[in-house]
Chains A and B, each alone.
Chain A
Amino acid sequence: MKHGPLMFLGVLAAVLASWLVAVLAPHFQIGHEEPILIEELGINYPVDRPGEAKQGAEVYRAQGCQYCHTRQVRQEPLFADLTVTDLGTNAVETRRVVASLRRDLAGVDGRRLPEELPRPLLKHVSYAAAEAALRRLTNAGAQVELTLANLGPDIARGWGARRTVARDYLRDHPVMLGQVRFGPDLANLGARQTNEMRLYLKLYNARLELPGSTMPRYPYLFEERRLRPGQEPSPDALRGFGFEPPPGIEIVPRPEARQLVAYLLSLKADTLFYETYVPRPASAGAAAVTNGPAAAPPAPTPPPAQP
């Protein structure tokens, strides 16, 4: 390497290329996304947080919650199974479709098919393929059942109804995705935990509710006040869920705790839009719009149609 300048330029080019690919290209792709109007709900998603929750984001950041909690829900490529439950009235047509979907079934004697119902037709195929097959079969009059094979452990745990996408974080700064799950994911905390008092108690001492929890205590977010004899504790003092403050003392959340809880309650990423739709848990062919039982009856009477 006699050419010092060449090396300089090479290294600069390499790092510039990685910056272009890893940051700038995505910036041109999704850097100008705007909140999306969801007509059914009448909102612009993501919804701007109320002021107290915005301040809570600063508390979340300052306490470093993101060092133990992620805020991203993963989803694996979606697969589906397809099962025929009823061949419908036009078994010939259905068998034709079945035969085109499953070459290996083409030779099976069609008359036996109904006896083997419900018959698993496709297993672990991509959702798009299963959906297309479902459409063809229902159009042929059959009834089929589409089951999702895998939504992934995150969704199975109830950490969200769907994966998180870039649009969910449009209003966040900084974006605290988190990298390690020492604690559970919080992307949808506000959707599954709506009780303020439980969150306060969790922050005050997580081991009250879960003895084995490793979550730090945040006693400095609360204020201990001495009660004069006979004085009632203030309405927002910690109580309930098996927690009783020592006699003569009340524990009241400070403003930071209030803001943090407001923020936590605002953590929701469950609104559905184009890139996030998750199919209905199990959609049956019978429920499809076109070829339900309502449309089927006319079929068995072929002749009278010709006037």
Chain B
Amino acid sequence: MSLEPRSTTSSHPAPPATVPDLVPGPEPAEPRTGTAFYTPIWLVAVFGAALYWATLYVDRHGGGFNPMVFTPGELLADVEARVPRSEADVLLAKGRQVYNTYCSACHQPNGRGTPGQFPPLAGSDWVLTEGPNRIIRIVLDGMQGPITVNGVEFNNAMLPWREQLTDEDIAAVLTFIRGNKDWGNNAGPVSPAQVKVIRDATAARGTFTPWTAAELLTIPVKD
């Protein structure tokens, strides 16, 4: 019926049935799927590898799924490093770490020590001095013999840390101990330079020569 005569059909004799597309003709069969081949196994393998790559990619660029990290490729540490802090803040954070590693076993995480064995650091009259000269020495070379802390007598030994801890570590842990507000302490920070001066000055005493309380009391708390 009134089909357009020049519609696609006439010229090409080759295929058995011409393609009827712009005119309704004998309707081609509905399409079918074949099974000429299955999904190639290499494709599945590559896909698996790509999935693995994707996890690596997210790991590298995802900022550890932290909502504070906005630039792909950075981590929270990068963001934190940019936050301006005073030097004391940095030492405080590091000091907490050092304290938990080396000190808290005896002096306890809460800094109260163990009655009769290990003197307290929280509120201690040895810690909360104007300057840190004495306690730097204690940490460097250890302590032995009787010592009176806050009016209570202790008689025990403390290990020297001269070899294990760097100036920065000692400054950090002392800053943490002296300035720990949770313990009620509020004394000034200790700088690595101060530790260094005393370390160099006391190097001549030789290793493993712990201080005694009497010896320390002769040293001014502050330069």
Question: Which residues of A are interface residues toward B (Cβ below 8 A)?
Answer: 26, 29-30, 75-78, 90, 93, 126-128, 131-132, 135-136, 139, 141, 163, 165-166, 274-275, 277-280, 288-291, 295-296, 298-299, 302-307
Contacts and interface: CB of A to CB of B under 8 A. Distances in A.
A277 B84 contact: yes
Contacts of B219: 307
Interface of B: 67-75, 77-84, 86-87, 90, 167-168, 191-193, 196-198, 200-202, 204, 218-220, 223
A299 B220 contact: no
A298 B68 CA distance: 42
Contacts of B78: 77-78, 126-128
Interface of A (DSSP majority class): loop
A39 B83 CA distance: 15
Nearest to A295: B193
Contacts of A304: 201
Contact of A277 (B69, B83, B218): B83
A288 B87 contact: yes
Contacts of A295: 191, 193
Enumerate the 8 nearest inter-chain pairs by beta-carbon distance, A residue then B residue, closest first. Answer: A305-B201, A77-B73, A128-B81, A289-B87, A277-B82, A29-B67, A131-B81, A295-B193
B67 A76 contact: no
A75 B71 contact: yes
Given A141-B193, A163-B71, 12 more contacts: A75-B70, A78-B78, A126-B78, A128-B77, A128-B80, A128-B81, A132-B81, A136-B168, A166-B67, A279-B82, A291-B192, A306-B201
Given A128-B78, A277-B84, A307 B191 contact: no
Given A135-B90, A289-B86, A290-B191, A298 B197 contact: yes
Contacts of A93: 196
Contacts of A29: 67
B71 A78 contact: yes
A307 B218 contact: yes
